[in-house]
Amino acid sequence: MTPLVAARPDRPTLGIALILLGTAAISVNDMLIKALSGGYPLHQMVFARSVLGLVFTLTLLQYEGGWRALKTRRPGLHLVRGLCLVISNMAFFAALAALPLAEATALFFVAPLFITLLSIPVLGEKVGPLRLSAVAVGFLGVLIMQRPWAGGEELHASRLVLALPLLAALTYAGTMVLTRRLGADMPAAAMAIYTQCIFLVVAVAFYLAAGDGRFAEGQTNESLLFLLRAWVWPEGRDLWLFVGLGFCSGLVGYCLAAAYRAADAATIAPFEYAGLPLAVFWGWAVFGTLPAPVTWVGMALILASGVFVYLRERRRGREVAARRPTRRY
């Protein structure tokens, strides 16, 4: 059987630095999108951050082989990877309009648990009872955060909105194997550029279909309004926040791809969990919200199960690149 990941130099210090920088940029990106979600449509933010991110990554590309680095023998895989990331991003960001930042982030962190389950039918792996138990604990945390016993008035948002981060995690899960395959022979900046271009195409399509806001009329669901609201030219402070989105987009796209090319995932993956406390911090510092006690319990179960799966994989000496909760880029 052909190995999934080609051999490459292992630089753990660089990989850890890149993953921490990328995770911090992700948390800032999510905070900015939530802050802007009440006045601008999601596809406008995606367009702005992709344009600015593309400029940033095109600059980096000149230091990683120039234009010839964009050549690929597998354009279909890039397209599938990019579309999965688009679905994951759109679902997660739509959830941010209605959910507290920490809650949406914690629900997304079930991605490695989804991949563990998918590895059975897709990769033909044998998953033992310990890992299956850890997955069950993680999904128990999801169930607690979903609060099936609560009425609609007790929840932050509808059941459909609460499911959006899970959809984001599931669609993102399928991108990790593709990232490792494509990253074996392509610079990180080139991969980020392909992704930004796909985001641009989707954003333009949304604008052509709903950019005038006609589908937002009469809508009361915050997530749908975020998706369908009319474009508004940002002014004052908001304009700089859009610039920040673009910078974060380019930085994240590059850092995540470069981190997993620089070092083994078993070394750098645990540092991605820094995203959860950062989400709690931004939720408190910017939006004045902290998770409810029941949410803390669910978050703890999801976090503990993810860490256990990671430790189990490392102990067994397996490649865990396709099991990490690397975020939506």
Instruction: Determine, yes or no, domain membership for 21.
Output: no
- The predicted-structure confidence for 125-150, as pLDDT tens digits, reads as follows 677 788 888 888 988 988 888 877 76
Confidence of residue 49 (pLDDT cuts 50, 70, 90): confident
Q: Give me the number of domains the chain comprises.
A: 1
Instruction: Determine, yes or no, domain membership for 28.
Output: no
Instruction: Determine, yes or no, domain membership for 40.
Output: yes
Which domain covers residue 231, as residue numbers?
A: 34-323
Instruction: Determine, yes or no, domain membership for 242.
Output: yes
Residue 193 has pLDDT above 90, yes or no: no
Residue 21 has pLDDT above 90, yes or no: yes
Instruction: Determine, yes or no, domain membership for 8.
Output: no
- The predicted-structure confidence for 88-110, as pLDDT tens digits, reads as follows 988 999 999 888 999 999 999 88
pTM of the model: 0.79
Distance CA 329, CA 146 (A): 25
Instruction: Determine, yes or no, domain membership for 13.
Output: no
> Which of 121 and 16 is assigned the larger pLDDT?
16
Instruction: Determine, yes or no, domain membership for 6.
Output: no
Instruction: Determine, yes or no, domain membership for 4.
Output: no
Distance CA 194, CA 248 (A): 17
The pLDDT assigned to 319 comes to 46
The pLDDT assigned to 15 comes to 84
